[in-house]
Amino acid sequence: MPSDYLPILILIVLATVFAIIAMALPAVLGPSRKTKAKLEPYESGMVPYTDARRRFPVQYYVIAVLFILFDIEVIFLYPWAVMLRQLRLFGLIEMAVFLGILLVGYVFVWKKGALEW
């Protein structure tokens, strides 16, 4: 049984090694002349005129969290669609319950005004 997980372990080790090499190699081989212009924050090609540490409205974070939440829940639709023929009526009812819960959450968020920008 543990030998079944060996390819996953190899993949994780190779991905970690590749990530470390990709992060370390440019720092070691690349040129590093630090000038005043290079040390300034870069914002869309514009010279920053205020401090970069400004406050964002909470609404920005609420929208971001809601997007991630509903986006991740939509991912659960794919395996259900693949297995629908084997699940038959039970799978259809379970997905209807799942989508009903999502719809209730969406309506709640909408009524609360969390989606207003």
What digits encode the pLDDT tens for the residues 43-93? 666 666 777 677 778 888 888 899 998 888 888 889 999 999 999 999 999
Average pLDDT, the chain: 87
Domain interval for residue 64: 2-112
Number of structural domains the chain divides into: 1
Kindly report the pTM of this predicted structure: 0.51
How many angstroms separate the CA atoms of 36 and 26, rounded?
21
* CATH code (residue 81): 1.20.58.1610
- Best CA proximity match to 106, nearest among 60, 82, 70, 78: 70
Kindly state the tokens that stand for 18.
Answer: 């590749």
Q: What is the mean pLDDT of residues 34-49?
A: 71
For residue 25, being part of any structural domain is answered with: yes
DSSP E strands, the chain: none
Identify the band that residue 12 occupies on the pLDDT scale cut at 50, 70 and 90: very high
